[in-house]
Structure 1
């Protein structure tokens, strides 16, 4: 989920960065009125994310280009599947090609990795969350890619919720003081979450009206104990050091959510190509 107006501003920056003064290769080798048709295809199995953004890049650069999207975001594409076709002015197609491929490869890579993490916790109550550790300027698109892969979005930005971390607690003096101060002024529908890295902090947080308790970098036995202490009085999120090979054990402690930055920061781009249409 993202706003088209905001995406258009990003696309203008991306195209300006890549083109510079002009696409020297296209303009010196291709006649101005030459036309062509290309197909964007999956060169490996993948979950589609960013296809609308890729299509908009072509439209933004040249509104006369004709685009036919074959698959939507969130769809599973087998190797060889055509994601979309684009036809029209050959110079325009080749000038915008790399920018369109870059974003759909990046976003589909995030969706792919997210889906692997989601699969690892199937059958548990836990849901996968992302984080704010995103590529500057690409947050809304990377978080959209997480959703395409079956994950949930944590805060979109600092204005989306109150997250009380160790430094906030240090300034306020205690978890109780920090939560009380936040609750006085926070908007009515906004949730308050407290980060705890020890069981005694969990016990203190339970004496407040906090909505979510984050278990930060706790051991699996301590997380299990914390879930028992909380006993449904607040939602429980586990975070810190979550990897594909450790997430199942964390999910089996009974937490409600597991957050990780790995699904965005460690996601490899998938292989997608733009080849001449047959």
Structure 2
């Protein structure tokens, strides 16, 4: 059975190669070996998604480095063999995917390490600020980097946000309405931006509160009042430069769009030889 990742990778190849790679006609049928190497330092992510895809397009893996491993300039990440035109046809897709996912894994790993120096139990989580069509890939990279993927889509949990509250009129009424439609299998979380609303939400019976764009000193007040009574999540412009300040507050979760929308892709390249 073709899994989601393989199906998407095949679509990406169609985008790049369809109806054919007219340049690589000149190497068609020449047996070749490709060496994908790092020109950067970071955490590798994406190699684990490639075997079935490469097998379908007629390429054999000779060796590969495992996802989650640290890489440095010059490290060999993947060695593949096949017809020259096939190797060149997949080159850019593979490098783009590996570079992007490894960049996300690297940023996540950095955030996790920094945060846990201040708060050993805090989780760094992703958000839905992902690239359309690549969400599952990017969530995979977050997990490789040691983070939590958070919601994959809007059906995973109820998360009442500021715009929901604006339409309903109050925190308490929004929670009441959500309780009426919520399945017992789904957690109920609400986004708030004040200590007062956080306490209101707790009293209304939510499972989690998301403290949005609140300063660390404000979050500390909420943690002091509610720690251990429900899940406390902090979010809003949190990045490697300020994550320690938020971790020190004692929150359970720190969610960050930075790791998917602002992380830098790692630089990888492929060299090829005739065999």
Q: Normalised by the size of structure 2, how large is the TM-score?
A: 0.93
- Match of 1:74? 68
- Match of 2:264? 268
- Contact map agreement 1:68 1:86 (CA 8 A) in 2: yes
Q: Of 14, 17, 26, which aligns to 1:16?
A: 14
Task: Give the secondary-structure state (helix, strand or coil) at the position aligned to 1:176.
Answer: helix
Could you give the per-residue CA deviations for residues 94-144 of structure 1, whole angstroms, max 9, x where no partner exists?
A: 111111111111101111111111111123032101000000000000000
- Report the alpha carbon displacement of residue 66 of structure 1 after superposing the two structures with TM: 1.4
Q: Of 64, 71, 83, which aligns to 1:89?
A: 83
- Report the alpha carbon displacement of residue 198 of structure 1 after superposing the two structures with TM: 1.1
Output the CA distance in 2 between the equivalents of 1:4 and 1:175.
44
Output the CA distance in 1 between the equivalents of 2:242 and 2:176.
35
- Match of 1:236? 232
Could you give the per-residue CA deviations for residues 138-176 of structure 1, whole angstroms, max 9, x where no partner exists?
A: 000000001111111110000000001112122233222
Could you give the per-residue CA deviations for residues 13-37 of structure 1, whole angstroms, max 9, x where no partner exists?
A: 211111132111110x22x321111
- Contact map agreement 1:55 1:100 (CA 8 A) in 2: no
- Report the alpha carbon displacement of residue 78 of structure 1 after superposing the two structures with TM: 2.9
- Report the alpha carbon displacement of residue 57 of structure 1 after superposing the two structures with TM: 4.2
- Contact map agreement 2:195 2:218 (CA 8 A) in 1: yes
- Match of 2:112? 118
Say how many residue pairs are matched.
272
- Match of 2:5? 7
Q: Does 1:257 align with 2:247?
A: no
Q: Does 1:108 align with 2:102?
A: yes
Q: Which runs of 5+ in 1 are unaligned?
A: none
Note closer, same or farther for the CA distance 1:4–1:220 as it changes in structure 2 (3 Å cut).
farther
Output the CA distance in 2 between the equivalents of 1:109 and 1:69.
22
Could you give the per-residue CA deviations for residues 66-112 of structure 1, whole angstroms, max 9, x where no partner exists?
A: 11342121122233222121112111111111111111111011111
Note closer, same or farther for the CA distance 1:257–1:117 as it changes in structure 2 (3 Å cut).
same
Output the CA distance in 1 between the equivalents of 2:60 and 2:205.
55
Output the CA distance in 2 between the equivalents of 1:244 and 1:118.
9
- Contact map agreement 2:43 2:69 (CA 8 A) in 1: yes
Q: Normalised by the size of structure 1, how large is the TM-score?
A: 0.92
- Report the alpha carbon displacement of residue 231 of structure 1 after superposing the two structures with TM: 3.2
- Report the alpha carbon displacement of residue 55 of structure 1 after superposing the two structures with TM: 4.1
Output the CA distance in 1 between the equivalents of 2:173 and 2:187.
16
- Match of 2:189? 193
- Contact map agreement 2:47 2:64 (CA 8 A) in 1: no
Q: Which runs of 5+ in 2 are unaligned?
A: none
Note closer, same or farther for the CA distance 1:4–1:201 as it changes in structure 2 (3 Å cut).
farther
Task: Give the secondary-structure state (helix, strand or coil) at the position aligned to 2:130.
Answer: coil
- Contact map agreement 1:34 1:90 (CA 8 A) in 2: yes
Output the CA distance in 1 between the equivalents of 2:41 and 2:10.
30
